[in-house]
Amino acid sequence: MTDSTISGTNEDLLEPITPLAAIDLGSNSFHVILAIKQPKNWRVIDRHKELTRLASGLGESRQIRKKSMNVAHQALLRIGQRIRPLPRRNVRIVGTQALRVAKNSNEFIKTAQKILGHKIEIISGREEARLIYLGANHSFDHQLNHRLVVDIGGGSTEIVRGERFETQQGESLPMGCTSITEKYFPKGRITKSGFKRAINRVMEELQGYKRYFPDESWELALGTSGTIQAIQKAINSTDSPVLITKNRLGDLRRQLVEFGNTDTIDTSLCSKERARVFPGGVAILTAVFQSLDIDEMHVTDGALREGLLYDLCGRIQDQDVRESTVLDLLRRFHIDERHARRVEDTALHLFDQVKVQWELDEIEDRLLLRWSALLHEIGLDISHVRYHRHGEYLLHNLDLPGFSLREQVMVANLVLAHRRKFPTKQLTDDKSIEKLAILLRLAVVLRRNRTSDSLPRSKLTVNASSIHLELPKKWLKHQYLTLMDIEREMRYLRSIHYKLSLSDR
């Protein structure tokens, strides 16, 4: 068990005895961090690591092997013992590159969620980069504020620059220490030519990213996570930490070539477990140094899991990055915010009436409905024609800081589904999103006049497949367009086997 403090918020909104948990399901290993709140910081009370090699053998088939899956599930049983009792809002679990690309990741996640008793989010490479930057910079105190952060994982490498705690550019390369070692150092053989080919391949990949990280845009290079920490340890001949430099990396490569095989790397250099993927990590870091013209690199302990912890703190204390992202989109795409807020208000009023009968989640489903109501007209910035489709495309393809891939897809699909025919292909996998789409559609219909006039409170009752909307008679008799729209909705809803009825009171 490790006990340390993380600088953080001084708000006193959480029970001090209730830990927060952040879990990183990485391509090579799983990491857990638990922390409790103190008056002016967060105190880490436990850290745990499980070596799983989930990405090992993915190859061209992009299938997680049964053996790797079983090892990972056994690791999750041990992790689950620690986090299962925690409240849902106190836990975040994210999957990275291996689970992003594996064709059978859904199979793995389904079992994993049952074991852990908590939801697993798959995050994009850029969201991973943002969280890594957040964790690294909160854990490293230095007077230079413009920073470049590098993290080499098992299946991907993240490179991020920013100022203090704000990310300015983040990229994720689909290559990590496991994948590069397997491809360029087959059967563990370490050769000079293997290093040359590996370094050239990574530098080739980096060509498309170099323009985002000009050397004048950062003052300090910072490395994080297990691979870079292991490299620092390997080049360190003293008890005090040293900087990683080009020359020291060159010396380390020559040492590894002399060993000849990952099985024969001296344990004083790195552990047996790390040795299996170590050459690939050294090759990647060498390529990053050469491509971005890095002279020296500091190393920090903070990484993705610490970033997750800070992000989770923000969500609990009403500083949710996702809310900032939605507000930014409202302004960036010139959305009529007053109208969007009115649609949001109506949609949530309907939600609160039916959430119990439809078994909708008070937190997650309500947020998805809020965001989609606020963003339902984002596509108008492109064209009024088929604007719901333009909106879906934008939300599928924009970077949305704070959002998991699933959240991003669900908001995009809800925006697509808010008008015209139901996109049944996009809504078949999740019954809750189908119901949220119905609520959003009704809110849009009821607010179509776009005026600031107060809308009489509607009454909505539902069961499994029927929906009854009740509106004031005095108001309804003058709403000719609304009546026509509701009749059209009745036809659209029949296509997905729901019966909508209307009455006045």
Specify the pLDDT at position 1.
Answer: 42
How much is the pLDDT for 136? 94
More confident residue, 486 or 7: 486
User: Which H/E stretch holds residue 402?
Assistant: none
Confirm or reject CATH 3.30.420.40 for domain 4-123+308-313, answering yes or no. Answer: yes
Summarize the confidence of residues 75-82 as an average pLDDT.
Answer: 95
Say whether pLDDT at 16 is over 70: no
Asked whether the predicted pLDDT for residue 378 surpasses 90, the reply is yes
User: For 26-37, what is the mean pLDDT?
Assistant: 91
Query: Could you tell me the strand order of the sheet in which 466-471 lies?
Result: 459-462, 466-471, 499-504
Please tell me the distance from the alpha carbon of residue 489 to that of residue 439, in angstroms, as a whole number: 11
Burial class (CB in 10 A: 0-12, 13-18, 19+), 247: exposed
pLDDT at 99: 95
For the record, the structure tokens of 127 come out as 């969201």
User: How many whole angstroms separate alpha carbon 146 and alpha carbon 167?
Assistant: 10
Is 374 a residue whose pLDDT tops 90?
yes
Beta strands in 196-278 (DSSP E): 220-224, 244-245
- DSSP H helical ranges for 418-479: 424-427, 431-446, 473-476
Closest Cα partner for 172 from 207, 139, 209?
209
Q: Which range, 3-7, 271-275, 348-352, is most confident? A: 348-352
**pLDDT score of 236:** 85
Q: Please tell me whether residue 467 adopts helix, strand or coil conformation.
A: strand
Strands 499-504 vs 466-471: parallel, antiparallel or unpaired: parallel
pLDDT of residue 237: 64
156: pLDDT strictly greater than 50 = yes
Query: Stretch 128-145: mean pLDDT, rounded?
Result: 90
Residue 341 or residue 238, greater confidence: 341
Mean pLDDT of the chain: 91
Q: For 438, phi and psi rounded to 5 degrees?
A: -60, -45
Of all residues in the chain, what percent carry a pLDDT higher than 90? 77
Kindly tell me if the per-residue pLDDT of 345 is higher than 90.
Answer: yes
CB 482 within 8 A of CB 446: yes
Residue with tokens 């119905």: 438
pLDDT at 7 (0 to 100): 46
* Residue 6: pLDDT over 60: no
CA distance 130 to 135: 9
Could you tell me the pLDDT band of residue 8, with boundaries at 50, 70 and 90? very low
Tell me the mean pLDDT in the region 225-247: 86
pLDDT band at 105 (very low <50, low <70, confident <90, very high): very high
Domain segments of the chain as ranges: 4-123+308-313, 140-300, 320-455
Q: In what order do the strands lie in the sheet with 4-7?
A: 4-7, 41-51, 29-37, 20-25, 91-95, 121-122
| DSSP symbol at 264 | G
Is residue 200's pLDDT more than 60? Answer: yes
pLDDT band at 3 (very low <50, low <70, confident <90, very high): very low
Q: For position 110, what pLDDT does the model report? A: 94
For residues 150 and 215, give the distance between their C-alpha atoms in angstroms, rounded to a whole number.
14
The strand pairing partners of 47, in sequence order, are 33
Half-sphere exposure of 135 (CA within 13 A, CB side): 28
The stretch 417-429 carries a mean pLDDT of 82
Do strands 499-504 and 157-163 pair parallel, antiparallel, or not at all (unpaired)? unpaired
Cα 160 to Cα 310: distance, rounded to the nearest angstrom: 17
Question: Is 140-300 in the same CATH topology as 4-123+308-313?
Answer: yes
Instruction: Work out the average pLDDT over 465-482.
Output: 91
Is 283 within 8 Å of 178 (Cβ atoms)?
no
Give the span between the Cα atoms of 42 and 24, in whole angstroms: 18
At residue 428 the predicted structure's pLDDT band, cuts being 50, 70 and 90, is low
Cα 165 from Cα 135, distance rounded (Å): 9
For residue 238, pLDDT over 50 is answered with yes
Reported confidence tier of residue 162, pLDDT bands at 50, 70, 90: very high
Q: Where are the alpha helices (DSSP H) in 84-209?
A: 97-101, 105-116, 125-138, 177-184, 192-206
Do 118 and 93 form a contact (C-beta atoms < 8 A)? yes
Identify the pLDDT of residue 392. 97
pLDDT at 317: 83
Distance, in Å, from the CA atom of 243 to the CA atom of 268, rounded to the nearest integer, reads 19
Residue partners of 78: CB distance under 8 A and separation at least 6: 48, 50
pLDDT category at 459 given cuts 50, 70, 90 is: very high
- In this prediction, residue 14 carries a pLDDT of 46
Model confidence over 203-223: pLDDT tens digits?
999 999 999 999 889 999 999
Please, which pLDDT band fits residue 2 given cuts at 50, 70 and 90? very low
User: CA 165 to CA 138: how far, in whole Å?
Assistant: 7
pLDDT at 215: 86
| Domain spanning 140-300, CATH class | alpha beta
Contacts of 293 (CB under 8 A, 6+ apart): 215
List the structure tokens of 439. Answer: 């609520």
> CATH number of the domain at 320-455, out of 3.40.640.10, 1.10.1060.10, 1.10.3210.10, 3.30.1360.80?
1.10.3210.10
* Rounded Cα–Cα distance for residues 393 and 416 (Å): 9
pLDDT at 242: 78
Q: What's the CA gap between 102 and 502, in Å, rounded? A: 47
Residue 469 structure tokens: 């909307």
* Reported confidence tier of residue 10, pLDDT bands at 50, 70, 90: very low
Q: Burial level of 16, CB count in 10 A (0-12/13-18/19+)?
A: exposed
Helix then strand count (H, E) for the chain reads 20, 15
What does the pLDDT look like over 309-334, one tens digit per residue? 999 988 888 889 999 999 999 999 99
Cα 18 to Cα 29: distance, rounded to the nearest angstrom: 26
